[in-house]
Amino acid sequence: MTGRNGPLTGKVVVDLSRALAGPHAAMLLGDLGARVIKVEQPGTGDDTRGWGPPFVGPDDDRISTYFLSCNRNKESVELDLKSDDGRALLTRLVRAADVLVENFRPGVLDRLGFSMERLEELNPRLVVCSISGFGHDGPEGGRAGYDQIAQGEAGLMSLTGPSPDEPTKVGVPIGDLLAGMNGAFGVLSALLEREQTGRGRVVRTSLLSSIVGVHAFQGTRWTVAGEVPKAIGNHHPSIAPYGGYICADGMLQVAVASEGQWAKFAELLGIDPADPRYADNASRVTNRPDLNAEIEAALAGGTRDEWLKRIGGIGIPCGAIRTIDQVYEWDQVRSQGLVIGVDHPVLGPIELPGPAVRFDPREGDDDPGAGHAAPPRLGEHNASVRAWLDSLDDEGAAAG
């Protein structure tokens, strides 16, 4: 049995999802201590087991690094949901579970015999997390959901990239990841509610809702001010100077978010802070091309590290632009538990990106960074999960 100590220790999650949004949600619950049982198609498993390169490991047992990214702290059981045995085993899992995570296209679970009504009948305390591409209802509720498609449809690509003529996707599948986070957030809320009501609830989110839900000020630019936001590269649409600037040997980023900061920054670079073009933030945004040219002319006189030291020294937020390898080698990242070590049954000791949430230890707690389990091999827990179910009574005594 996998599982680690945490706020969800003792809770059982059945993960019926594939690809990323659902598996990410279930992984977050596993990080919090839940026992997560990942149900996979016999012989092939989750689609992401075949997504690569890169693959690692021996030629006859290749491991997808994509799969490794979103399935830590889980057990794997193979189960054919179209077979009598598979449906019977899933029925037993549902009765024993606290949470079920699924991201089938709307209607698929119904056809398999596990409608929301049936799930509630089997286990009234079950919390169901259902993640879809564009929502479970509405005029386009049946559409398949893939991250990049959703990024485009939800307007995110129109805000991202060097110019309005080059809409650009985010460098990670952000719609999937946000949907997973929202799904886990909804599950935790429903579990808390269950403490009062004794009943579960269906929690729904989608890639579409998760992206629209983080439009933030870009959304209100349209809904309130009637402006259609457009991509402007590495600069903030409402604050200046705020963005990426070229210096003698590369690029750095600066965020000047107040008039006091502007005065100090301008004086450091030899720019008149009272110039009418730059006297307040609105003027600086309007005259951003002139301002950026003056800033980069000044920065050309020094290296990135020199300027970061000088700018940071006067209290202005600034930073480098790191490559991924530099991020994982950074002491600050490692100090925050963002790299974890696990022992994989094929690969041996490996490092994975770690969870973003930490809990301060209390007296008697185990090491909060310990106990993570490697992503499972396909069907690794077939026997142990069946043995566990056999140990329960017919009503699923493990359910909390």
pLDDT band at 145 (very low <50, low <70, confident <90, very high): confident
Residue 5: its pLDDT value, please? 83
Going by C-alpha positions, the residue among 150, 149, 76, 73 that lies closest to residue 340 is 73
Contact 96, 126 (CB under 8 A): no
Residue 2: its pLDDT value, please? 58
Sheet holding 202-206, edge to edge: 75-78, 35-40, 12-15, 99-102, 127-132, 202-206
* SS3 call for 220: helix
Within 10 A of 46 (CB to CB), how many other CB atoms are there? Answer: 26
Percent of the chain whose predicted confidence (pLDDT) is above 70: 96
Residue 3: its pLDDT value, please? 57
Contact 127, 191 (CB under 8 A): yes
pLDDT band at 124 (very low <50, low <70, confident <90, very high): very high
The answer to whether residue 176 is catalytic is yes
What is the pTM assigned to this prediction? Answer: 0.92
Compute the mean pLDDT over every residue in the chain, rounded to the nearest whole number.
93
Going by C-alpha positions, the residue among 14, 57, 124 that lies closest to residue 381 is 14
Spell out the domain ranges in the chain. Answer: 12-214+330-390, 242-322
**pLDDT tens, position by position, 207-229:** 999 999 999 999 999 999 999 99
Residue 399: its pLDDT value, please? 45
Amino acid type, 297 = A
Residue 398: its pLDDT value, please? 46
Going by C-alpha positions, the residue among 383, 388, 351, 363 that lies closest to residue 35 is 388
**pLDDT tens, position by position, 43-74:** 999 999 999 999 999 998 999 999 999 999 99
**pLDDT tens, position by position, 345-400:** 999 999 999 999 988 887 766 654 568 999 999 999 999 999 999 999 655 554 44
What is the average pLDDT across 310-329?
Answer: 96
Active-site choice (31, 46, 98, 176): 176
Residue 400: its pLDDT value, please? 47
Amino acid type, 400 = G
Topology at the third CATH level for domain 242-322: formyl-coa transferase, domain 3 (3.30.1540)
Helix or strand run (H / E) with residue 44? none
Residue 61 has which token pair?
């047992």
Out of 3.40.50.10540, 3.90.330.10, 3.10.129.10, 2.120.10.30, the CATH code matching 12-214+330-390 is: 3.40.50.10540
Percent of the chain whose predicted confidence (pLDDT) is above 90: 90
Higher pLDDT, 397 or 145: 145
